Structure 1
Amino acid sequence: MKKARLIYNPSSGREIVRRRLPDILDLMETAGYETSCHATKGPEDATKEAARAVSRGYDLIIAAGGDGTIYEVVNGMAGQKARPALGIIPCGTTNDLARAIGIPKSISRSCDVIKRGKKKRIDLGKINNRYFINIAGGGYLTNLTYEVPSKLKTMMGQLAYYMKGLEKLPSLHPIRVKMENRKEVLLDEEIMIFLIANSRSVGGFEKLAPQADLSDGKLDVIVVKKANIAEIIRLATLAMRGDHIKDPLIAYFQTDYLKATTSSGEQVQLNLDGELGGQLPCVVEALPGHIELFVP
C-alpha cells in the first residue's frame, strides 16, 4: 500500500478538518493510501513537515487548509529532486488555487479527486528564494491577507478581507517600480499594486488574470498604475467580470522571468499566496511542470 502524509491546519474552515479527520483517513485508506497526519503548530511548520515527508519517501502529500497552508507545503516540496504528488483539501477563506483547478470544497468530494487518481503537472513561481503556486504581489493592498486576524477570517470568511480593504483605501499611495525581463524594461512608473499570477483566480476574483494557465510555463503580471480611490473601486468592479485588463490604468503581460525594483526608498513588502514573502527587489521565474497535482 502506498503512503500518504496529511498536513492540515487545525484552525482552517472553522476547524472542519480536525472534526472530520477520521473520515479523511478512512477515505484515503479506501483510495489505497496508508495515511498518517500532522497538525500544523505555527508559521512554516507545514513547510518543515512537507520537507520531512519528501525525505521519508511518501508517495503523496495532502495539504488540508487554505492557500497559506498549500503555500507552506509547496515550499517544503519545491526544489527537491524527488517530489511526491500533491493533493488538496480546500478549507480556507478564499481557496484560490482549488477554485482555479475546480477542486470542490466538500471534504468527501475533494478526497474523491485524489481517489480517482487523475494528475496534472503544473507550474510554480520562484521569487528570490521562495516559491508560490498561485499569486505573488507587492504594494500596500497586498498586505491585506496577513493583516486580517485568523480568528476574524474563521468567523467571517471572505467578508473579513473586504472589510479590511475598505479600511485601508484612504491610506493607499503609489510606489515607483521598475519591471524588466531579460531583454527590455517593461514598465518604470508609479503604481498602486502589482500581482504575478499563476492561475486565473486571485483573492476571490475568478477572472483577475483571464489569460493565465497553470501549465503554460508563464506567469501573468497585472499592474494597477497610479490611481485615486474612485478609480480603484471602479477597477475592482471591472475585475469581477474580467474587463479590467482593457482599462488604461492596467498593464497586463505574460513572462517567464521578471525583475522588479523600486527607487522610491520605501520598503515594499511582497505577498506570496497570502503570506509574507520578503521585500523588493525581487527576481521572479516560472518553473514549468514543477509540481504534480491531483485534479478533477
Structure 2
Amino acid sequence: MRKKARIIYNPTSGKELFKRTLPDVLIKLEKAGFETSAYATEKSGDATEEAQRALQGNYDVLIAAGGDGTLNEVVNGIAEQPNRPKLGIIPMGTVNDFGRALHLPNDIMSAIDVIIDNHITKVDIGKMNNRYFINLAAGGQLTQVSYETPSKLKTIVGPFAYYIKGFEMLPQMKAVDLRIQYDDEVFQGEALLFLLGLTNSMAGFEKLVPDAKLDDGYFSLIIVEKANLAELGHIMTLASRGEHTKHPKVHYKKAKAINISSYTDMQLNVDGEYGGKLPGNFLNLKQHIEVFTPSDVTISELTEQ
C-alpha cells in the first residue's frame, strides 16, 4: 500500500527555492511509493492548522519544509494526538538549528532521500504551559536576538547576523530576580537569562548545550547569573567554543521538569519565536516524536558537531 505524505512548506523560506523545486520533489516521492500532496503556508499558525487537518486525513508522513518556526508549528499541530505521523524535515531557514542537530543535509533532494531511506529516530520535545517546542526555550533580553534580528541582515550574512545583533544587545541587558525549580532543586536570585535545551544549537551556536541528548528525557538547563558587560562578553565568547559552562556565573543542570517565575516581566523565546512571558511550566516529553534521520548517524552521534 502506498504511504500518504503531506508536505507543509513556507514558500518564502530559502529565497523561495523549495517552491521552485516542489514539482521535482513530488515526482521523487511518488516514484518512491508515496502518495504526496503539498500545502503552502501564508501566515503564522497556518502550519499548525494544516498539520491538524493532516491528522484527520490519516497521513502516514508529514514533511515540514522551512525554518525552525515552520517545524515548531507542525509539531504543535500533532503533539497532542496519539496517532502522530512520522515527521520529515527539509531545512530551508537561515540557521535550521534542529536540522543541524539531526545532521540533516541542506540540499533539498538529499533531505528527501533521508525520508525515503525510512530511518526513524524518536526524539524528545518540550512542553511549555500549553505550547510545544523541539529545540530550545529561553528567557532574557539576549534570547530575543533570534526574532529581533532583521530579515535583510539574515539574508545577507546568514547565521552571523545573530552574533552581530547579540553583541549589539549586550549593553542593554538587565538582570531579573528569578525562581527556578528544576526537579528537586531551586535557584533563586538575579539572572540575565536562562536556556532550556533539547538540542545543542541555538541561533547558530552549535555548542551552546555541549552534551545535549535528543532522547534521554532531560532538558539541559543553563542559568546565567547577573554579570557585568565584560563578564557577559567573555561568556558569549566561551559559548562559541562550548566552554561557557565552566564560567563561575553560569549554572548548568539537567532536569525533566522545570518551573520558572518572576515578579518582573521576562519575555520567552520558543524555538526562535516570541513565546509570551513568565511564568513558565516546562516538561520534557521523552521520545515523543518520530523523525526521519540519516541512516549513517546513530542517536549518540546526533549532537556531536
Measured against aligned partners, the alpha-carbon deviations of 1:138-191 in whole angstroms (never above 9, x if no partner) come to 000111111123344334322332232233222111111111134331x11111
Query: What amino acid is the match of 1:18?
Result: K
Query: What amino acid is the match of 1:37?
Result: A
What TM-score does the superposition give when structure 2 sets the normalisation length? Answer: 0.93
Equivalent residue for 2:159? 158
Please provide the CA RMSD for this pair: 1.3
Equivalent residue for 1:270? 268
1:109-148 aligned within 5 A:
109-148=110-149
Equivalent residue for 2:204? 204
Instruction: Report the secondary structure of 1:46's partner residue.
Output: helix
Equivalent residue for 1:69? 70
Query: What amino acid is the match of 2:160?
Result: L
Equivalent residue for 2:106? 105
Matched, 1:283 2:284: no
Distance in 2 between residues matched to 1:209 and 1:18, nearest whole Å: 33
Query: What amino acid is the match of 1:273?
Result: D
Distance in 1 between residues matched to 2:253 and 2:82, nearest whole Å: 31
Equivalent residue for 2:247? 247
Query: What amino acid is the match of 2:10?
Result: N
Query: What amino acid is the match of 2:14?
Result: G
Matched, 1:23 2:24: yes
Aligned residues of 2:170 and 2:233 also touching (Cα < 8 A): no
**What is the aligned-residue identity percentage?**
50
Equivalent residue for 2:82? 81
Q: 1:9 to 1:151 in 2, by over 3 A?
A: farther
Distance in 2 between residues matched to 1:74 and 1:68, nearest whole Å: 10
TM-superposed deviation, 1:257: 0.2
Instruction: Report the secondary structure of 1:188's partner residue.
Output: strand
Equivalent residue for 1:259? 259
Equivalent residue for 2:297? none
Distance in 1 between residues matched to 2:277 and 2:52, nearest whole Å: 24
Distance in 2 between residues matched to 1:272 and 1:196, nearest whole Å: 10
Aligned residues of 2:260 and 2:280 also touching (Cα < 8 A): yes
Distance in 2 between residues matched to 1:183 and 1:235, nearest whole Å: 27
What TM-score does the superposition give when structure 1 sets the normalisation length? Answer: 0.95
TM-superposed deviation, 1:67: 0.7
Query: What amino acid is the match of 1:275?
Result: E
Query: What amino acid is the match of 2:52?
Result: A
Equivalent residue for 1:224? 224
Aligned residues of 1:67 and 1:274 also touching (Cα < 8 A): yes
Query: What amino acid is the match of 1:63?
Result: A
Runs of 4+ in 1 over 4 A off after TM superposition: none
Equivalent residue for 1:238? 238
Instruction: Report the secondary structure of 1:241's partner residue.
Output: coil
Measured against aligned partners, the alpha-carbon deviations of 1:103-125 in whole angstroms (never above 9, x if no partner) come to 01111111110010000111110
Query: What amino acid is the match of 2:280?
Result: C
Distance in 2 between residues matched to 1:274 and 1:182, nearest whole Å: 25
Distance in 2 between residues matched to 1:27 and 1:199, nearest whole Å: 30
Distance in 2 between residues matched to 1:99 and 1:42, nearest whole Å: 25
Distance in 2 between residues matched to 1:162 and 1:36, nearest whole Å: 38
Distance in 1 between residues matched to 2:152 and 2:46, nearest whole Å: 19
Aligned residues of 1:14 and 1:155 also touching (Cα < 8 A): no
**Length, aligned pairs only:** 293
Gaps of 5+ in 2: 295-305
Instruction: Report the secondary structure of 2:87's partner residue.
Output: strand
83-92 or 168-177: bigger deviation: 168-177
Aligned residues of 2:9 and 2:38 also touching (Cα < 8 A): yes
Matched, 1:38 2:39: yes
Measured against aligned partners, the alpha-carbon deviations of 1:203-222 in whole angstroms (never above 9, x if no partner) come to 21111111210100111111
Aligned residues of 1:178 and 1:261 also touching (Cα < 8 A): yes
Distance in 2 between residues matched to 1:212 and 1:40, nearest whole Å: 31
